[in-house]
Structures are given as structure tokens and as C-alpha cells.
């Protein structure tokens, strides 16, 4: 599989690459649309790229760049043409959304300058692991690359 475009997370005003993907966006989408995300390119099989943000103890979805079809199963069976989507399309507003659907440990490149991809996966001199439960950050830990 082609290396996937990574999500980013803003911590303290610095955008850092995520070496793990948070849980998929919740369904059904809050604004009531049915969106089927498509891979516009081979490096984006999920059909979207997200920019996350830590705001105090909350994990926020700050930006969404997506591609897909709106209401893909119409009564006539025809699929709508693919198009770009943003936070406003999915959540009804371009304002950051509290990511209450995410419970995960996010692997974040703490040392952005040393972050790279090699044959064994993502490498970084120092990682930050952010423990998130229902959109609330419950802990951070740091590990140096072995």
C-alpha cells in the first residue's frame, strides 16, 4: 500500500505529524448528510485528511480536507458526483469540533525536525504519546526513539 498522507495535530501552536490515525469520523454525521468518502489519490485511502488541535484538555477536529460523494444511495440508484468536503459539510460549521468519538493513544512527532519515513516505518528522535478518552486528554508520555 502507498504511504498515506498523515493527519496533523497542533500542540502549543506547532503543527506536528501524527504517526497514528485517530478513530474514523462518527456516523451518522451530525448535519444529517450521508457522505461516502472516496480516495482521491492512492495516498489518501480514507478520503480525508484531518488537522487536530489540543485545546486545554480537549481534542478538537480543527480542519477537514475531504473528498467524496454526498448521499451516495439515492432512490434512483445513481451516485452523486464526487466533490470536496470541509468541516462545515460534515458538522454544519467551520468551527473546531470537540472530538468526543475519539478514544485512542495518539503517536505524535515531538521532534518535528527528525521526523521521517524509512523502510521500518515512521522514525523520530522523540515521540509524544497523547492518551485521549472520549475526546478528553487524560495523559501525555514521551519516549526517545530506540
Q: Which of 89, 96, 48 is nearest to 70 (CA)?
A: 89
**How high is the pLDDT of residue 46?**
65
- pLDDT, one tens digit per residue, over 76-130 is 556 667 778 888 888 888 999 999 999 999 988 888 777 777 766 777 888 889 9
- pLDDT, one tens digit per residue, over 35-79 is 776 666 555 666 678 899 999 999 999 998 877 776 655 555 566
Which letter, b or e, does each residue of 8-46 get, where b requires 16 or more Cβ atoms within 10 Å of its Cβ?
Answer: bbbeeeeebbbbeebeebeeeeeeeeebebbebeeebeb
Global pTM exceeds 0.85: no
Q: Is residue 1 predicted with pLDDT exceeding 50?
A: no
Q: Which of 98, 107, 105 is nearest to 143 (CA)?
A: 107
Q: Which of 68, 47, 135, 45 is nearest to 96 (CA)?
A: 135
The answer to whether 101 and 77 have CB atoms below 8 angstroms apart is: no
Q: Which helix (H) or strand (E) holds 16?
A: strand 14-17
Question: Any idea what DSSP says for residue 18?
Answer: B
Amino acid at each position: 500500500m502507498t504511504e498515506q498522507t498523515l493527519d496533523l495535530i497542533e500542540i502549543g501552536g506547532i503543527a506536528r505529524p501524527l504517526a497514528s490515525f485517530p478513530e474514523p469520523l462518527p456516523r451518522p454525521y451530525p448535519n444529517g448528510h450521508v457522505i461516502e468518502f472516496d480516495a482521491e489519490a492512492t495516498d489518501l485511502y480514507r478520503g480525508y485528511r484531518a488537522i487536530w488541535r489540543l485545546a486545554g484538555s480537549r481534542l478538537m477536529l480543527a480542519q477537514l480536507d475531504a473528498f467524496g460523494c454526498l448521499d451516495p444511495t439515492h432512490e434512483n440508484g445513481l451516485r452523486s458526483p464526487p466533490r470536496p468536503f470541509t468541516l462545515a459539510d460534515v458538522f454544519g460549521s467551520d468551527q473546531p469540533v470537540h472530538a468526543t468519538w475519539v478514544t485512542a493513544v495518539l503517536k505524535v512527532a515531538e521532534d518535528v525536525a527528525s521526523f521521517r519515513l524509512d523502510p521500518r516505518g515512521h522514525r523520530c528522535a522523540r515521540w509524544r504519546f497523547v492518551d485521549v478518552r472520549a475526546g478528553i486528554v487524560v495523559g501525555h508520555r514521551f519516549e526517545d526513539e530506540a
